[in-house]
Structure 1
Amino acid sequence: MNRWSRTVHMVVASMALVCVPAAAGVAHADPAIYVPTPGVESTYFEPGPSAVTERLGFGCCDSTGAKFDIWYPTGLSATRHPIVVWGDGTNAVPSQYAYLLRHLASWGFVVIGTENQNTGSGVDIRKSLDYLLAQDDDPTSMFFGKLDKTAVGAVGHSQGASGVLNAMRDSGGAIKTAVPLELPAQHFCSTSTSCADTRSLTTGSVFFVNGSADGLISPSQQLVPWQAEGLQSNQAYYEATPANLAKVWGTLNGPNHNDVQGQPDCAAASVPCTTGVYGYLGYPTAWLLAQLCGDATARDAFRSGSEFFTPSPNWRNQVGNVTG
Structure 2
Amino acid sequence: MAGNGSDPLAPYEEDGPYTTTRHSGGLGCTIYRPRNLGSNHPLIVWGNGTGGTPTTYGSGLEHWASWGFVVAAANTSNAGSGDEMLDCIDYLQSSSYAGNIDFSKIGASGHSQGGGGTIMAGRDARITATAPVQPYILGLGHQTSSQYQQHAPMLLLSGSLDTLAGPTLNQAPVFSRVDVPVFWATLNGASHFEPVGDFGDYKAMTTAWWLYQLSGDSDAASLFTGACSACGLSDWDVERKGL
TM-score interval (norm. to shorter) = over 0.9
Displacement of 1:144 after TM fit? Answer: 3.9
Task: Give me the whole-angstrom Cα distance separating, in 2, the residues matched to 1:198 and 1:304.
Answer: 28
Among 174, 193, 205, which residue is 2:126 paired with?
Answer: 174
Change (3 A) 1:306 1:98: same
Amino acid at match of 2:191: N
Aligned-partner SS, 1:194: coil
Displacement of 1:300 after TM fit? Answer: 1.6
Task: Give me the whole-angstrom Cα distance separating, in 1, the residues matched to 2:4 and 2:12.
Answer: 9
The C-alpha deviation readout for 1:266-317, integer Å capped at 9, x for no partner, is xxxxxxxxxxx3311111111111111111221121125421111x33212x
Which structure is higher in RCO with an 8 Å CA cutoff and minimum separation 6? 2
The C-alpha deviation readout for 1:117-136, integer Å capped at 9, x for no partner, is 1110111111011111221x
Match of 2:119 in 1: 165
Among 222, 229, 241, which residue is 1:307 paired with?
Answer: 229
Displacement of 1:71 after TM fit? Answer: 0.5
Match of 2:201 in 1: 279
Aligned-partner SS, 2:122: helix
Q: Is 1:200–2:148 an aligned residue pair?
A: yes
Among 247, 256, 265, which residue is 2:191 paired with?
Answer: 256
Residues 2 and 234 in structure 2, CA contact (< 8 A), matched pair in contact too: no
Displacement of 1:37 after TM fit? Answer: 7.5
Task: Give me the whole-angstrom Cα distance separating, in 2, the residues matched to 1:304 and 1:249.
Answer: 15
Displacement of 1:233 after TM fit? Answer: 3.1
Aligned-partner SS, 1:97: helix
Q: Is 1:233–2:170 an aligned residue pair?
A: yes
Task: Give me the whole-angstrom Cα distance separating, in 1, the residues matched to 2:22 and 2:4.
Answer: 26
The TM-score, its normalising length taken from structure 2, stands at 0.93
Among 90, 99, 103, which residue is 1:149 paired with?
Answer: 103
Amino acid at match of 1:210: S
Task: Give me the whole-angstrom Cα distance separating, in 2, the residues matched to 1:166 and 1:309.
Answer: 27
Residues 16 and 67 in structure 2, CA contact (< 8 A), matched pair in contact too: yes
Match of 1:104 in 2: 64
The TM-score, its normalising length taken from structure 1, stands at 0.71
Among 81, 88, 94, which residue is 2:54 paired with?
Answer: 94
Aligned length: 243
Q: Considering only CA atoms, is the larger Rg found in Structure 1 or Structure 2?
A: 1
Task: Give me the whole-angstrom Cα distance separating, in 1, the residues matched to 2:176 and 2:241.
Answer: 11
Structure 2: state its 5+ residue gaps. Answer: none
Amino acid at match of 1:259: E
Residues 304 and 321 in structure 1, CA contact (< 8 A), matched pair in contact too: no
Which structure has greater strand proportion? 2
